[in-house]
Chain A
Amino acid sequence: MHHIYCPYCEEAREEEEYSYTGEAHIERPKDPAAITDEAWGDYLFFRSNPRGIHHEMWYHASGCRRYFNVTRNTQSYEIHETYKMGKLPTITAKTIAADTLVAQQGDAS
């Protein structure tokens, strides 16, 4: 069971207080009428569903009622960071891959 830090409450609380609300950073098209059915379908239905680092939204339903973002590893359930709406993650699959590379090079030398 997750223990999640709410960036608005500034406390780690039990998973029971939250609900998961899907992938983060999916922006609604500014002018839906102007885009193709395919582009609209992608926005509606297609999600990245990665194995590993995932940025997702959680809703502090039984707490402050704020939505926020979580960077979570879908394999290990490790939560790397939580951050407020409108912010960007500081930890991504890319930064982790880069860190691993540096660590490996460090081992090699």
Chain B
Amino acid sequence: MSQVNRLAAGGRIDRSKPMSFSFNGKTFQGFHGDTLASALLANGVGIVGRSFKYSRARGILGHGAEEPNALMQLHQGNATVPNPRATQVELFDGLVSGSTNGWPSAEFDLMEWVGKIGGKLMPVGFYYKTFMAPQKMWMTYEKFIRKAAGFGKLSLEPDPDTYDKLNVHCDVMVVGAGPAGIAAALEAGRSGKRVIIVDEQNEFGGTLLASNQTVDGVDAAAWAEQATTELVGMANVTVMPRTTAFGYYDHNFVCALERRTDHISPVSVSGSRQRLHRIRAHQVILATGAIERPLVFGNNDLPGIMLANSVSTYINRYAVVPGHRCIVMTTNDTGYQTALDIQAAGRTVVAVVDSRHAPDGRLVQAAKAAGIEVMTGHGVIEAQGSKRVTGAIVAPLDETGDKLTGTGKTLSCDLIAVAGGWSPVVHLSCHTGSRPVWQDDVAGFVPGPTIQNQHLAGAITGKYRLSEALNAGIKAGAAAAGTESAQVFNCGDESEGAAQALYLVPHTKPSSRAPKQFVDFQNDVTAAGIELAAREGFQSIEHVKRYTAMGFGTDQGKTGNVNGMAIVAKTLNKSIAETGTTIFRPAYTPVTFGALGGRDIGVLLDPARHTAMHPWHLANGAAFENVGQWKRPWYFPQAGETMQQTLNRECLAVRNSVGILDASTLGKIDIQGKDAREFLNRVYTNAWSKLAPGKCRYGLMLKEDGMIFDDGVTACLNDQHFLMTTTSGGAAAVLGWLELWHQTEWPELEVYFTSVTDQWATCSFAGPNSRKVLEKLCTDVDLSAEAMKFMDYREGTVAGIQSRIFRISFTGELSFEVNVPADQGHYMWKKLMEAGEEFGITPYGTESMHVLRAEKGFIIAGQDTDGSMTPYDCLMGWAVGKTKEFSFLGERSFSRPDTARADRKQLVGLKPKDPTVVIPEGSQIVMDPNQPIPMDMMGHVTSSYWSECLGHGIAMGTVKGGSERMGETVYCPQADGRVLAAEICSPVFYDPKGDHHND
């Protein structure tokens, strides 16, 4: 059997289900129930990766989310996943894994020599100090630094899996299914409340699964199984293993990632791979436990140095002993349990090295009784070995653990289990803005005050005994569910000695000269580096973090932060409470982008809105453009045409005969009520008091600062009924704007607004023959020039459909718009196409619409205006009522000194000096192209097109004081070195008198 470290019996693995997997190209065997980490350890694999900065060999340190070293590249091809921790990857048959770094391999790594030789030359802040200058070289440096230092690789192919998002609600949300969480969920569940309990592991139980304690006389793991069965049996309780609550947000909003198939195969065979649960809970119980701290001593990162409780977990849960000759270095009683576990597994405990001088708890006595050598008042000050720990230098410490009191001796070993005390997992409690508080008696940070409906239970509060966790769980469950419980658990664990706080084991040399003493393994941050940062003047813990990178990355300081902060505090002669802590941010462990995206990808990224005529546009080869969420026909190319040729054909058709546009996307707001007219007076610049039924008017809508915000035509259907049109993109904003003023300032006006954009389809057809087309289909309205004038509105029957007919024009030609109920829009469009066939009716899209309106100098709000243009800036003073009784929105701002300046940028026409030129939109405008840089920027080109009917390029743009500069020449310097000259002119290039639309 090649699993050299596997025990013959025990553990929660299933020996009847062997599994084959590969790591860095070699094949190994494990069992169902293993994690990748436990299987690697079972096979005696020591090195799992290389460190971030110094390329040092690294092995597995922990057994769960705290693991900083064993980041894996899993699976192959498009299924590859970078950076899961081997400790959190469930083994399945055929799993392919590898280290995320190391070149040519993690076992034999060339960068190691850079790390060794350059180690002394790469102090904290090395990159900042070294690659500062020359600045433009940074991009080059960065490429190599990232290559040398990075972890993991993404597939560049599309993700083969699907993901889901669920919105979930509950009364009580329990995070963590260790003893405290299970007890809390039992209590809350029994009350009948809707409970959700999540745990990141495959099995519920947490520490219970690797414990040799009892709960009320029942074996801990068996109790966990019984309790979980009870929870699963409750209809009101949702039990979710393999689910990580990674973020805790305001108002008790918890996000949890459920891994549904990651333990089965690289790609989900059926259904979604992962689910993102967005949970809104009335009460949240955090039972997230605690993470054991490593001890900081020389070469403490060697493979074979592991957290003590992780060693116990591997032995008891996975039947794997990761060493033969073991030293346990501890500052508290829990390390003794590990020594007992190692001995029970049949391996040698060289010694328990305890920094305390007189420990005497229950476990200490048990270890002594078992014949284990205990060295009190000692510490491991340095580990020896190169690719694997081979020995430890152990030396006597003073009472406080600050100084060595004698010379050390070397003990040979291949495993050092370190028990440096516990850090409560306060991460989630921080996400809502609550700062953790230091508690001396816990020697750790515990969650601070919060305004969330949050309860805490178990090790997160710094209470580490099993009975304390269970009893706190019952209390938290009762508090969250509003019940009372007298249940008390008995685990026989009352006697435990006090722990010692030891954050840096002293060495015979100062930290700067001693072998590297690592604090943050994932980011290669050492005690010497932190001390240097403090000496260099970084005093705020937040600055130290950013300078040293302590607590960065996927690790988020889970094992290293408290030691690091204590070292900062000591260097600055402050207490840890004074130095404080950095704040942990979501996510607790990495979340796939796939899960965050869910199904909102590809065509479902954003809803697409289609008009009623969309099938016709598709069938007739339209090219589409996005206008907000609308898909609008952009142009209708015919075979062999370039886009410009299409536009030329479409525009000429409108100018010479008739063209037809789908204008359904224009925002339409139905306005009714006896005060509708007064309301329009207040929100539009022009006067509405005298607009008669059957008439339309163009209006400009301003913000209170006097700047144009939207425009459109509003028709008076009757005295108390108006139909407002808005820009296609502005419809929702305009409706919100109208509601705002009505609800907040003028609730006394009786007026009602309804969006009817989707309810009406609009066919707009323009050109000298447009009346003839309409006359063929409509017989009950007198469409003659005398009877139905420009800006008139009628109701009538068109092609047998009751329609709203507007004689309005955005092209400058005679033009009609027919609105019909949306479900008849497609029919109406086809009828108009049939009727127009004899005139060569030509469908045109938004691009030709833009050209046609620009030839007439009509603005597009949002293209020719940008929120800093008044009507006067757009030379549209004609649209402003001067004698309106009510001070309409924005009017007062016209007289503000800045708004009234004569040299404001104004919207003018620009005629290129070279008639063949079309000036690129966005071009900057200057008066003197030879002026030295920086030039005086006079404005920019807002709209620019080729006008086939005029035979030259046309443009609109803003120019400072432009209205007073008619006839002057401006210049548009281009990126390619050309300088395009243009003459300032009226923006109305075509039919300035308006004869055509009045025909």
A and B from one complex: yes
Q: How would residues 257 to 298 of chain B score, 1 for a CB under 8 Å from any chain A CB and 0 otherwise?
A: 000000000000000000000001000000000000000000
Chain B residue nearest in CB terms to A57: B744
What's the nearest-Cβ distance from chain B to residue A59, in Å?
6
Q: Which residues of A contact B451 (CB under 8 A)?
A: 76, 78
Does A47 belong to the interface (CB within 8 Å)? Answer: no
Q: Which of A1, A2, A14, A32 lies in contact with B892, CB distance below 8 A?
A: A32
Question: In the assembly, what is the distance between CA of A67 and CA of B742, in Å?
Answer: 10
Which B residues between 335 and 373 are near A, CB-CB below 8 angstroms?
none
Which A residues between 54 and 83 are near B, CB-CB below 8 angstroms?
57, 59, 61, 65-67, 76-79
> Are the CB atoms of A67 and B744 closer together than 8 Å?
yes
Question: In the assembly, what is the distance between CA of A19 and CA of B874, in Å?
Answer: 31
Chain B residue nearest in CB terms to A40: B892
> Are the CB atoms of B251 and A3 closer together than 8 Å?
yes
What's the nearest-Cβ distance from chain B to residue A15, in Å?
9
> Are the CB atoms of A3 and B253 closer together than 8 Å?
yes
Chain B residue nearest in CB terms to A67: B743
What's the nearest-Cβ distance from chain B to residue A17, in Å?
12
Q: Which of B280, B736, B896, B897 lies in contact with A59, CB distance below 8 A?
A: B736
Does B747 belong to the interface (CB within 8 Å)? Answer: yes
Does A51 belong to the interface (CB within 8 Å)? Answer: no
> Are the CB atoms of B280 and A28 closer together than 8 Å?
no
Known: A21-B740, A67-B740. A44 touches B893 (CB 8 A): yes
Does B590 belong to the interface (CB within 8 Å)? Answer: no
Q: Which residues of B contact A44 (CB under 8 A)?
A: 704-705, 893
Known: A59-B736, A67-B739. A37 touches B896 (CB 8 A): yes
Q: Which residues of A contact B253 (CB under 8 A)?
A: 1, 3
> Are the CB atoms of A33 and B897 closer together than 8 Å?
no
Question: In the assembly, what is the distance between CA of A1 and CA of B251, in Å?
Answer: 7
Q: Which residues of B contact A57 (CB under 8 A)?
A: 744
Q: Which residues of A contact B887 (CB under 8 A)?
A: 31-33
> Are the CB atoms of B250 and A1 closer together than 8 Å?
yes
Chain B residue nearest in CB terms to A26: B744
Does A106 belong to the interface (CB within 8 Å)? Answer: no
Question: In the assembly, what is the distance between CA of A13 and CA of B895, in Å?
Answer: 43
Question: In the assembly, what is the distance between CA of A35 and CA of B704, in Å?
Answer: 15
> Are the CB atoms of A41 and B896 closer together than 8 Å?
yes
Q: Which residues of A contact B735 (CB under 8 A)?
A: 65
Of listed B252, B253, B743, residue having the most chain A CB within 10 A: B743
Q: Which of B252, B705, B891 lies in contact with A32, CB distance below 8 A?
A: B891
Chain A residue nearest in CB terms to B754: A65
Question: In the assembly, what is the distance between CA of A43 and CA of B249, in Å?
Answer: 35
> Are the CB atoms of A40 and B739 closer together than 8 Å?
no
Question: In the assembly, what is the distance between CA of A109 and CA of B613, in Å?
Answer: 77
> Are the CB atoms of A40 and B893 closer together than 8 Å?
yes
Question: In the assembly, what is the distance between CA of A35 and CA of B895, in Å?
Answer: 12
> Are the CB atoms of B891 and A40 closer together than 8 Å?
no
Question: In the assembly, what is the distance between CA of A30 and CA of B340, in Å?
Answer: 83
Does B693 belong to the interface (CB within 8 Å)? Answer: no
Chain A residue nearest in CB terms to B703: A44
Q: How would residues 222 to 262 of chain B score, 1 for a CB under 8 Å from any chain A CB and 0 otherwise?
A: 00000000000000000000000000011111000000000
> Are the CB atoms of A33 and B736 closer together than 8 Å?
no
Question: In the assembly, what is the distance between CA of A27 and CA of B704, in Å?
Answer: 13
Known: A33-B887, A40-B896. A85 touches B744 (CB 8 A): yes
Does B786 belong to the interface (CB within 8 Å)? Answer: no
Q: Which residues of B contact A1 (CB under 8 A)?
A: 249-251, 253
Does B745 belong to the interface (CB within 8 Å)? Answer: yes
> Are the CB atoms of B893 and A61 closer together than 8 Å?
no
Does B433 belong to the interface (CB within 8 Å)? Answer: yes
Known: A3-B251, A3-B253. A33 touches B744 (CB 8 A): no
Q: How would residues 724 to 736 of chain B score, 1 for a CB under 8 Å from any chain A CB and 0 otherwise?
A: 0000000010011
What's the nearest-Cβ distance from chain B to residue A75, in Å?
8
Chain A residue nearest in CB terms to B746: A28
Q: Which residues of A contact B705 (CB under 8 A)?
A: 44-45
Q: Which residues of B contact A21 (CB under 8 A)?
A: 736, 740
Question: In the assembly, what is the distance between CA of A30 and CA of B731, in Å?
Answer: 28
What's the nearest-Cβ distance from chain B to residue A45, in Å?
8
> Are the CB atoms of A85 and B743 closer together than 8 Å?
yes
> Are the CB atoms of B250 and A77 closer together than 8 Å?
yes
Q: Which residues of B contact A2 (CB under 8 A)?
A: 250-251
What's the nearest-Cβ distance from chain A to residue B980, in Å?
38
Question: In the assembly, what is the distance between CA of A29 and CA of B886, in Å?
Answer: 12
> Are the CB atoms of A86 and B747 closer together than 8 Å?
yes
Q: Which residues of A contact B744 (CB under 8 A)?
A: 57, 67, 85
Q: Which residues of A contact B745 (CB under 8 A)?
A: 27-28
> Are the CB atoms of A59 and B892 closer together than 8 Å?
no
Q: How would residues 695 to 733 of chain B score, 1 for a CB under 8 Å from any chain A CB and 0 otherwise?
A: 000000000110000000000000000000000000010
> Are the CB atoms of B893 and A77 closer together than 8 Å?
no
Q: Which of A29, A32, A37, A86 lies in contact with B897, CB distance below 8 A?
A: A37
> Are the CB atoms of A61 and B736 closer together than 8 Å?
yes
Q: Which residues of B contact A31 (CB under 8 A)?
A: 887
Which B residues between 851 and 900 are near A, CB-CB below 8 angstroms?
887, 891-893, 895-897
Q: Which residues of B contact A76 (CB under 8 A)?
A: 433, 451
Q: Which residues of B contact A85 (CB under 8 A)?
A: 743-744, 747
What's the nearest-Cβ distance from chain B to residue A77, in Å?
5
What's the nearest-Cβ distance from chain A to residue B449, in Å?
10
What's the nearest-Cβ distance from chain A to residue B922, in Å?
28
Question: In the assembly, what is the distance between CA of A2 and CA of B249, in Å?
Answer: 9
Q: Which residues of A contact B891 (CB under 8 A)?
A: 32
Question: In the assembly, what is the distance between CA of A82 and CA of B8, in Å?
Answer: 65
Question: In the assembly, what is the distance between CA of A86 and CA of B742, in Å?
Answer: 12
> Are the CB atoms of A3 and B280 closer together than 8 Å?
yes
Question: In the assembly, what is the distance between CA of A38 and CA of B434, in Å?
Answer: 41
Q: Which of A3, A35, A40, A59 lies in contact with B740, CB distance below 8 A?
A: A59
Question: In the assembly, what is the distance between CA of A19 and CA of B737, in Å?
Answer: 12
Q: Which residues of A contact B739 (CB under 8 A)?
A: 59, 65-67
Q: Which residues of B contact A79 (CB under 8 A)?
A: 251
Q: Which residues of B contact A29 (CB under 8 A)?
A: 892
Chain B residue nearest in CB terms to A43: B704
Chain B residue nearest in CB terms to A86: B747
Question: In the assembly, what is the distance between CA of A28 and CA of B253, in Å?
Answer: 37
What's the nearest-Cβ distance from chain A to residue B712, in Å?
20
Chain A residue nearest in CB terms to B745: A28
Question: In the assembly, what is the distance between CA of A40 and CA of B891, in Å?
Answer: 11
Chain B residue nearest in CB terms to A29: B892
What's the nearest-Cβ distance from chain B to residue A42, in Å?
12
Question: In the assembly, what is the distance between CA of A31 and CA of B280, in Å?
Answer: 47
Question: In the assembly, what is the distance between CA of A35 and CA of B732, in Å?
Answer: 32
Question: In the assembly, what is the distance between CA of A76 and CA of B740, in Å?
Answer: 27
Question: In the assembly, what is the distance between CA of A14 and CA of B280, in Å?
Answer: 9
What's the nearest-Cβ distance from chain A to residue B409, in Å?
55
Q: Which residues of B contact A3 (CB under 8 A)?
A: 250-253, 280
Chain A residue nearest in CB terms to B280: A3
What's the nearest-Cβ distance from chain B to residue A76, in Å?
5
Question: In the assembly, what is the distance between CA of A28 and CA of B735, in Å?
Answer: 20
Instruction: Write 30 A-B pairs (CB below 8 A) sorted by A numbering.
Output: A1-B253, A2-B250, A3-B251, A19-B736, A28-B704, A28-B745, A31-B887, A32-B887, A32-B892, A35-B892, A37-B896, A37-B897, A40-B892, A40-B893, A41-B896, A43-B704, A59-B736, A59-B739, A59-B740, A61-B732, A65-B735, A67-B739, A67-B740, A67-B743, A67-B744, A76-B433, A77-B250, A79-B251, A85-B747, A86-B747
Closest 6 CB pairs of A and B: A32-B892, A3-B251, A32-B887, A77-B250, A67-B743, A1-B253
Q: Which residues of B contact A (CB under 8 A)?
A: 249-253, 280, 433, 451, 704-705, 732, 735-736, 739-740, 743-745, 747, 887, 891-893, 895-897
Instruction: Supply 17 further A-B pairs (C-beta < 8 A) apart from A32-B891, A61-B732, A86-B747.
Output: A1-B249, A1-B251, A1-B253, A3-B250, A14-B280, A31-B887, A32-B892, A33-B887, A43-B704, A44-B705, A44-B893, A59-B736, A66-B739, A66-B743, A67-B743, A67-B744, A76-B433
Q: Which residues of A contact B (CB under 8 A)?
A: 1-3, 14, 19, 21, 27-29, 31-33, 35, 37, 40-41, 43-45, 57, 59, 61, 65-67, 76-79, 85-86
